[in-house]
Amino acid sequence: MKIRPEEDLSGQDLSGLNLSFANLSKADLSEANLSHAKLFKANLRSADLSEADLSFADLRHADLSEANLRSADLSKANLSNADLSNADLTGAIGLDTGT
């Protein structure tokens, strides 16, 4: 599957896909199923991931800066070294805040 920046993938089932190193900047991934997806070092800068299922996703070293993650499910997602600067995490599920 060839995915381009700014592509509309809203509501698509992308579960389990290997999207490591993919450039998904500004892509519409709202309500997409990305559970168990491999997004290692993926560029998701300014992507719309609102209400997306990112449970168990590998987001290590991913660029999620300025991404819309409102009400996204991040349960058990690996966010080690991910860049979440200026990301909207309002209502996101499963974030370990350390509190």
Tell me: the pLDDT tens digits for 57-70? 999 999 999 999 99
Q: Which residues have a Cβ under 8 Å from the Cβ of 2 and sit 6 or more positions away?
A: none
Tell me: the pLDDT tens digits for 17-72? 999 999 999 999 999 999 999 999 999 999 999 999 999 999 999 999 999 999 99
* Domain boundaries along the sequence of the chain: 1-92
**1-92 maps to which CATH number?**
2.160.20.80
SS3 state at 43: strand
Model-level pTM?
0.92
